[in-house]
Amino acid sequence: MPKATKNILIINVLFFLGSLVAENRGISLDQYLGLHFFLADDFNPIQLVTYMFMHANFEHLFFNMFAVWMFGRILEKVWGIKHFLIYYMVCGIGAGLIQEIIQYIHYATVLSGYTNVDIGSGLAIPMASYLNRMITIGASGAVYGILLAFGMLFPDERMFIFPIPFPIKAKFFVIGYAAIELYLGMINSSDNIAHFAHLGGMLFGLALILYWKKKHRNYD
């Protein structure tokens, strides 16, 4: 397995195990390493990096890391370790920035002007406390960037995707995923998934690939 891909897997697993140990001691690492809304008291710019190494549960970790292993190792072999790491980090940070923008739009259009926020069951908490609850975690933004890159580099590669009973080309797989994320984000789904952050990872990935192509970078 290529070096960068292997280390990404290892680091994410270590962060997950560390979060479990901390949780048993009554400490939530998400509060420190997860990405807070930039107007929240607990926001720290370094969280734009650390958030992508945190995961909510084993399933969240497994599927993200499975995608990194399945597609990331191929990109690393094509681009080399330096370009792959730059791409991975740019997609992850870009996804976080898009999530911040989406949260700000929600704040400005829905929450602005309120001093307390109703969180259900007749409970209301101060706005400052509510903003600190707006936390994003996971490598999904970087992973969606990886999917986009694979689809652009190998557009006609045929893939079997459960539960589709026939192979589809990678380019259609990527387009389909993007369309689903856009739809789920637009209908304001309450599934606690940062759909626009996923699209943000793809958007920043696309911009970086186009920039590299324009500069005639050599993917060694």
How is 39-88 classified by DSSP, letter by letter? TSTT--TTHHHHGGG--SSHHHHHHHHHHIIIIIHHHHHHH-HHHHHHHH
Which tens digits make up the pLDDT trace of 64-104? 999 999 999 999 999 999 999 999 999 999 999 999 999 99
Q: What angle do CA 107, 200, 220 make, to 5 degrees?
A: 155
Task: Tell the CATH topology of 3-214.
Answer: Rhomboid-like fold (1.20.1540)
Instruction: Give this prediction's pTM.
Output: 0.91
Task: Provide the percentage of residues in the chain whose pLDDT is more than 90.
Answer: 70
**For every one of its 220 residues, what pLDDT tens digit does the chain have, with 9 covering 90 and above?**
899 999 999 999 999 999 999 999 999 999 999 999 999 999 999 999 999 999 999 999 999 999 999 999 999 999 999 999 999 999 999 999 999 999 999 899 888 888 888 877 778 899 989 999 999 999 999 999 999 999 999 999 888 776 777 888 999 989 988 998 999 888 876 678 899 999 999 999 999 999 999 886 554 4
Amino acid at 170: A
Specify the pLDDT at position 77. Answer: 96
Residue ranges per domain, the chain? Answer: 3-214
Specify the pLDDT at position 18. Answer: 96
Q: What is the rounded average pLDDT for all residues in the chain?
A: 91
CA separation, residue 199 to residues 14, 26, 28, 88, 202 (Å): 27, 34, 27, 14, 5
User: Do 135 and 192 contact (CB within 8 A), yes or no?
Assistant: no
